[in-house]
Amino acid sequence: MKILLCFGTRPEAIKMAPLYHELKKTNFQVKVCVTAQHREMLDQVLGFFEIIPEYDLDLMQPNQTLNGLSATILSKIDFVLNKEKPNLVIVHGDTTTSSMVALAAFHQGIKVGHVEAGLRTYNKKSPFPEEINRQLTSRLADIHFTPTYLATQNLLNEGVLQKNIIETGNTVIDALFWTLSKIEMPNYINPEIEKLTKSIPLNKKIILVTGHRRENFGHGFENLCKALLKISEREDVTIVYPVHLNPNVKEIVYNQLSKKENIHLITPVSYPAFVWLMKQSYLIVTDSGGIQEEAPSLGKPIIVTRTVSERPEGVTSGHSILVGTDEKKIIESIVAILNKDLIYENKNNPYGNGDAAQQILKYLLDND
């Protein structure tokens, strides 16, 4: 079987890396195509996980529109599909790359496998455009690798046949454990981690913050910054915020939080450095989906700055708290965890135990 893995963003690369390495152990012909919907952040992950793509479409352009990106992906992926003629194209999650590559493969009669299938908010504007991307991909996919029971149920409710759904857990947990084992080796050297160790007061309670969602641009990020300013008045905390490079995020965050005591604004870090930061943190404030999945395996509570999440398992199990971008709710939730008024217990991670890629591989071997 000839398999083409196709992805374009840093989160996709992280979550596809374990599957890539599992597939490379077999007799399958495995090729990788990156669209480079992200560029620098993607390259960092490819280097760390030792992935050398056969095809790099290098589509990243400043301020490109979603329609422009979509059209370019559809146009350029044709060359790869025509040349390789894979039996199966595997895409991941909910990016523009995933939905457009799945559409292009469908147009050419090529089977599509969808990793991290079945996540839903059923609100097409939140997250935007990811919710529609994953619904489109589900309509196009032939094989659905779901991370959780709820994701499986979503697909069944939408009419996907049970025989085409394989529940595996999330490959991001595989990637997290792989990364932890690597960075904890005595001979592992990472200049970023060394720099962070010297610049961040590790004797305080570290609040790790991330944010990038389009629906939070403007007032959402302004409210988050106001909440962080209030929390930074505490002497027992330090806030570490790797600031997303999108101007809609960066300008607001730096205008409100730069040169403030107890707040460390840093440039985006590589994946291993970010995993190290998560491990050092006391709690995490984020609008990221992947972090909601990773943090439970590290025993870290998560405050999610979104009003709805396609990952409700974390909320139900007590790992995550949905607060939206309400300044008061963000402050109250952070304070409750810091003061231990809200007790967080490390429970089993509802998103998997680190063998998702092996389960996907087993299915593919059994059905070759």
**Could you read off the pLDDT of 70-114 as tens digits, one per residue?**
999 999 999 999 999 999 999 999 999 999 999 999 999 999 999
Q: Which uninterrupted H or E stretch holds 327?
A: helix 327-338
Whole-number Å distance between alpha carbons of 97 and 133:
9
Whole-number Å distance between alpha carbons of 253 and 239:
13
Residue 264 phi, psi dihedral angles, 5° rounding: -110, 105
CB-CB contact of 22 with 361 (8 Å): yes
- Residues 346-367 have a mean pLDDT of 92
- CB-based contacts of 52: which residues, under 8 Å, 6+ apart? 32, 46
DSSP string for residues in 244-292: -S-HHHHHHHHHHHTT-TTEEEE----HHHHHHHHHH-SEEEE--HHHH
The pLDDT confidence band at residue 62, using thresholds 50, 70 and 90, is confident
pTM above 0.95, yes or no: no
**Could you read off the pLDDT of 225-282 as tens digits, one per residue?**
999 999 999 999 999 999 988 888 899 999 999 989 899 999 999 999 999 999 999 9
Q: Which pLDDT value is given to residue 346?
A: 59
Neighbours of 19 (CB within 10 A): 27
Domains and CATH numbers, the chain: 2-170+353-366 (3.40.50.2000), 191-338 (3.40.50.2000)
Q: Which pLDDT value is given to residue 344?
A: 62
Task: Give me Rg for the CA atoms of the chain.
Answer: 20
Q: Which pLDDT value is given to residue 343?
A: 59
Q: Which pLDDT value is given to residue 341?
A: 67
Tokens 């300008």 belong to 251
Q: Which pLDDT value is given to residue 211?
A: 92
Q: Which pLDDT value is given to residue 216?
A: 84
Known catalytic residues?
A: 94, 116, 130, 212, 214, 244
The pLDDT confidence band at residue 285, using thresholds 50, 70 and 90, is very high
Q: Which pLDDT value is given to residue 83?
A: 97
Neighbours of 364 (CB within 10 A): 22
The pLDDT confidence band at residue 185, using thresholds 50, 70 and 90, is very high
